[in-house]
Amino acid sequence: MKTYTRTGDNGSTSLQGGKRVSKSHIRVEAYGTVDELIAWTGLLIDFPENLKRKKTLTYIRDQLMRCAASLAVESRKPVKGDILPEPECVRLVEDEIDAMESVLKPLKSFVMPGGNMLVSWSNIARCVCRRAERRAVQLNETEKIPEIIIPFLNRLSDYFFVLTRILCLELDIEEVEWSV
């Protein structure tokens, strides 16, 4: 199978199931943004500073692949054999957030992104995750998507935020609070 097919040269692409849509279709935007987040998560996995979180981040990346696969299916009723995020994925992410927050000082204001490349990339993952969530919400307004996807993306953006904070703590990087 060749990498290129030329079938998308007219600005269209195929959804799982064969239906062709514009590459600007909200469904393509939704799973494309999740795909972008998969790449950012892969980057975060590769850092030695995240070695103790490699299993969690690898699990998250797998759940994101499941989200993207599910979002790439043309609108229809769920059927047996659909690739969906695991039902416990939200709880597992919450457990990871709780574990990290147990050693962090409570926030009293907003925190400015930056201070270290890894911390900044984790913040970028958080922002891309929020965009993926917005795209999924937008798609869900016209074409229902599996219920697990929006809560998972919502919780995952919180995870990436807390990850930036724990990285600052572990790397002895000062969190810069935003003050007006």
pLDDT in tens, 96-139: 999 999 999 998 888 888 889 999 999 999 999 999 999 999 99
24 pLDDT band, cuts 50/70/90, is low
Between the alpha carbon of residue 170 and those of residues 14, 95, 154, 155, the distances in Å are: 44, 19, 25, 22
What is the reported pTM? 0.91
CB atoms under 10 Å from CB of 102, counted, come to: 7
Asked if 60 contacts 158 with a C-beta cutoff of 8 angstroms, the reply is no
Q: Which residues pair with 177 in a beta bridge?
A: 111
**In degrees, to the nearest 5, what angle opens at C-alpha 93 toward C-alphas 107 and 25?**
100
As a whole number, the mean pLDDT across the chain is 90
Tokens of 114: 């930056």
Q: What is the CATH number of domain 19-73+84-103+114-172?
A: 1.20.1200.10
